[in-house]
Amino acid sequence: MESVDTAPITPPANTKSETTRFRVLGAISFSHFINDMLQSLLLAIYPILKGGFNLSFAQIGLVTFTYQVTASLLQPIVGSYTDKHPKPYSLVFGMTSTMTGIILLAFAQNYAMLLVAALFMGTGSSIFHPESSRVARLASGGKHGLAQSIFQVGGNVGSAIGPLLAAIFIVPHGQSSTAWFALAALTGITVLWKIGGWYKDQQRMIAAKPKVPAQPNALSQRQVMMAMTVLMFLVFSKYFYLTSLTSYYTFYLMDKFHLSIQSAQVYLFIFLGAVAAGTILGGPIGDRIGRKQVIWFSILGIAPFTLALPYVDLMWTSILSVMIGFTLASAFPAIVVFAQEVMPNKVGMVSGLFFGFAFGMGGIGAAVLGQFADLYGIGYVYHVCAFLPLLGLLAIFLPNMHKASEKV
């Protein structure tokens, strides 16, 4: 990975006069699409792996735990390091690690190899997310929420498409057909190499200009710590619930409504499509009305739907899951940008921390909920998780960033 020996300066918050680089945002969003589409294949073929390797729900949860906790632990480390030592071509390295994981997943002969494949895929995500989030911010032209939504929607669309592609190509042809998706990774590597060149040029331009520190936000250290803690709890609520659907929704539909694997994966695709649609709105709405309001509504607002979900028929299960996915997804772009504004000098570390924490909560959630499913049945998972969105009440403790900026 090529390094640029200059410490990056976080662009000032007030940069709306700059041009928003939509081509760069489109390219990084497309790369995010490929990355998360490949990552989602691991979750999408769980029914195949469960039958082929005679796995318990707890063992499936451990695969998810290995994948997501690897990303969780490494992402803030990667982000913090590249805040000081940018690596323009690190994104290429991350996609290469994901491609390695896909190939290992396709030809795994035992459970240990599945865990190794999950490890490589988690490593790929740990490198990709903090650096690509930084690229999105650099290309934002000051429209940070919009840029974050464009970037994240690519990943969510990829996550939605993955299960559908698995149902069409992998389920009929078996585990080894997963290897064909390495071609998508090669496409991503090509795009990311070009993005790396643009990123490198941006760092050189920043280094040539007088160093301008990030605009202060007038928050005390106590307020910063409170805001970060509350945001972490909200991410926990969002992703612990979200993993109940991404990891176990197909099993729930198959168990309760006796659907086939392919049919259940179509419903998962519909849910993940709603997640993708919701993501694109969270950032720009936050730019307009305030991120705190978006965070408050998108997490607490789904509580009525999650509480009703375990008691409804298939049609309403599908409708409620779409409403949950659409509303809940709008939170994360707002949360990430809010955190970046709380700590404007540490964009990479903050991005890595929140993407990593999200992955970690997903991994822990998958392991814990897998144990619940083994002990009490898959339906019990959704009775327990229904109350998680009530943690959205904690958003009342977030500072008003607009008022804070006026004090500067």
Give the CA angle between residues 145, 151, 157 to the nearest 5°: 120
pLDDT of residue 45: 82
Cβ-proximal residues to 166 (8 Å cutoff; 6+ apart), any chain: 41, 44, 45, 265
pLDDT of 359 reads 66
- Residue 169 is given by DSSP the state I
Domain 22-208+217-406 has CATH 3.20.20.80: no
Query: pLDDT digit string (tens) for 351-390?
Result: 777 777 776 777 678 778 888 888 999 999 999 999 999 9
pLDDT of residue 3: 45
Question: What is the CA angle 366-367-370, rounded to 5?
Answer: 80
What's residue 130's pLDDT? Answer: 81
pLDDT confidence of residue 253? 95
Amino acid at 50: K
Q: Which one, of 235, 36, 206, 276, lies nearest residue 132 by Cα? A: 36
Cβ atoms of residues 267 and 251 within 8 Å: no
Map tokens 């709405």 to a residue.
285
C-alpha separations of 204 from 3, 128, 291 in Å: 11, 21, 32
Pairwise CA distance, residues 124 & 97, whole Å = 5
- Residues 246-265 have pLDDT tens digits of 888 999 999 999 999 888 98
Distance CA 376, CA 370 (A): 10
Phi first, then psi, for residue 213 (nearest 5°) are -65, 155
Q: Where are the alpha helices (DSSP H) in 108-181?
A: 111-138, 144-165, 171-173
Residues 146-203: tens digit of each pLDDT: 888 888 888 878 877 887 888 888 888 888 899 999 999 999 999 999 998 898 888 7
> What residues contact residue 124 under an 8 Å CB cut-off, 6+ apart?
35, 39, 94, 95, 96, 97, 98, 99, 100, 101
- CA 322/CA 275 separation, integer angstroms: 8
Query: Quick count: other Cβ atoms within 10 Å of Cβ 236?
Result: 18
CA distance from start to end of the chain: 39
Task: Pick out the chain residues at pLDDT < 70.
Answer: 1-18, 207, 210-217, 359, 363, 401-408
C-alpha 268/C-alpha 405 separation (Å) is: 41
Q: How far apart are CA 370 and CA 367, in angstroms?
A: 5
Instruction: Quote the CA–CA distance of 250 and 47 in Å, as a whole number.
Output: 9
- Residue 189's pLDDT is 95
Who's near 170: CB < 8 A, 6+ residues apart?
41, 44, 45, 48, 177, 178
